[in-house]
Homo-oligomer: A and B are copies of this chain.
Amino acid sequence: MTDGDLLQDRRQYVADSENRFVEELCELLRIPSISTRAEHAADVARAARWIAEKMRRAGLEAVEVITKEGQCPLVYGEWLGAGPQAPTVLFYCHYDVQPAFLADGWRSDPFQPVIRDGKLYARGAVDSKSHVMIQLHAVEAALAKGALPINVKYLFEGEEESSGAHILSFVREQPQKLHADYAVASDGSMPDRGQPALVYALRGIVSCELRVQGPARDLHSGHYGGNVHNPAQALCEILAQLHDENSTVTVPGFYDQVIELGETERAELAQALPWIEREWHEVTEAPQAWGESDYNLHERTGARPTLEINGIAGGYAEEGFKTVLPAQAIAKISCRLVARQEPAQILRLLADHIARLTPPTVTSELRSAGYGEPAVVLELGTAVMEAALTAYERAWGKKPLLLREGGSIPIVASFERELGLPMALMPFGYKGCGAHGPNEHVYLDMVQKGIHTMLHFYDELARQHAAAV
């Protein structure tokens, strides 16, 4: 049996299993594994057990749900039957999701997946349960139709959307269990459904909450309006000073560790610009682009840091009207980081700046929201990166673009730092799929292509690794 026949067999298995594969993805999507809300801890644990069961059914061995008090479980499984000469790849995905409420503008219950027009709608559909299932279904197909040419380890995380603390400590404490030659993190999105793209750079992140306190209690805005500094107003006055008229962050020192892009890289990034611009208009429908005028959209997203207001609240903003002068107002703020920006240092710089901006009529407090990760730039030209490029090209029929991406996958920095592995990111989402927003969805044809990509990847990596050593 030739390699080509074997691949054909595996593709046939995938085609024959299509309905079951979709139904299994739906099953996982029905579990509201929202890691950032404590009341969903049992759902996160249920999702972990469900995945462990699927790993066993796919033919993986040494499957376990790794629990730790107060943290969300990891799920581990491996297949090492390719032998010691073959390379070992550590695969990462996350199975937890962002919060979602019907009232946020969902057309259907975010935890009751529905298919409309080739798209599967549910919270977690693209970020990132389809990635979990692409990995499990691909390895199932490969193992069902003969042995894999590589050894595989899978480590799936349940708190990527919250602290990420469990996997970070696990990677530090158990590097031998995760010993491998390469790592692959499967998560993220491409700027076009028909054009594959490989991400080699991710922004870091640090997040915090700013609380501005004025009076000790909510007051009547008739009695105290004009003589008490309204904390909602003071909050706005502080936040409005965090960017200048060129959309540049005003925090002193904020850009000190940012590295300017070279001309070669700028030219490479410009190749993806048409896709990125088209996708930007299609997805955002914003009146016009915003940001630093010296950088194009790709550069603003992938190579420049940001300071973003993820939430503001103060007083009464619901139905009706309440003439209250609120006691306090809050903002949730996150910074996306690039190059050598350190999360803890950026938080300190921001806290110092906000303390300086706070007028004596109110008090303010900036608190860390608990996690931060520096940016990551992956090495190009490694066997794992080359195998991924070829696999995408075969599955999609097009050479992948190379992208810098604006999001953050904390574990990628940790894998680099702790395990020192050459790594590739393998995203199968489309940026217009509404990750983190309402009506999140995934294109079922992209899920299918994702499985095919992985089947090519197994073979390609075995080849590239043999060529490299």
A: residues with CB less than 8 A from B are: 36-38, 98-99, 104-105, 127, 162, 189, 203, 205, 207, 214-230, 232-233, 235-237, 239-243, 247, 280, 283-292, 297, 300-301, 304-306, 308-327, 329-332, 334, 336, 360-363, 369-370, 405-408, 431, 434-439
Contacts and interface: CB of A to CB of B under 8 A. Distances in A.
A83 to B, nearest CB: 39
A424 to B, nearest CB: 19
29 contacts: A37-B319, A105-B327, A207-B323, A214-B284, A216-B284, A218-B437, A220-B436, A221-B436, A223-B435, A224-B301, A225-B334, A226-B306, A226-B308, A228-B286, A228-B290, A233-B243, A233-B308, A235-B236, A237-B240, A239-B240, A286-B362, A287-B362, A287-B363, A310-B322, A310-B324, A311-B318, A312-B314, A315-B332, A324-B436
Contact of A222 (B239, B242, B406): B406
A245 to B, nearest CB: 10
Given A207-B323, A287-B362, 11 more contacts: A37-B319, A215-B283, A217-B438, A224-B280, A225-B308, A239-B240, A310-B321, A310-B323, A311-B316, A312-B313, A321-B370
A313 B317 contact: yes
A292 B227 CA distance: 8
A36 B320 CA distance: 5
Q: Which of A226, A319, A363, A437 has the largest count of B CB atoms less than 10 A from its CB? A: A226
Contacts of A216: 284-286
Contacts of A189: 223
A239 B226 CA distance: 15
Q: Tell me how many chains of this kind the complex includes.
A: 2
Contact of A226 (B105, B221, B287, B406): B406
Contacts of A229: 286, 290
Given A289-B361, A323-B207, A221 B312 contact: no
B323 A315 contact: no
B284 A219 contact: yes
A283 B219 contact: yes
A106 to B, nearest CB: 11
B311 A317 contact: yes
A88 B285 CA distance: 63
Contacts of A242: 233
Q: 6 closest pairs, A vs B, by CB?
A: A222-B407, A36-B320, A311-B317, A216-B285, A240-B240, A313-B317
Contacts of A309: 230, 232-233, 236, 314-315
A279 to B, nearest CB: 9
Contact of A232 (B312, B315, B318, B362): B312
Given A203-B222, A287-B360, A308 B321 contact: no
Contacts of A214: 284, 286-287
Contacts of A240: 233, 236-237, 239-241
A295 to B, nearest CB: 8
Contact of A330 (B227, B292, B317): B317
A316 B99 contact: yes
B437 A310 contact: no
A329 B312 contact: yes
Contact of A316 (B218, B226, B310): B310
Contacts of A37: 319-320
Contacts of A436: 218-221, 322-324
Contacts of A290: 227-229, 361
Contacts of A243: 233, 237
A7 to B, nearest CB: 33
- Most-contacted residue by chain B among A189, A218, A242, A300 (CB, 10 A): A218
A411 to B, nearest CB: 15
Contacts of A319: 36-38
A99 B306 CA distance: 38
A411 B6 CA distance: 84
A321 B283 contact: no
Contacts of A313: 312-313, 317
A37 to B, nearest CB: 6
Nearest to A295: B226
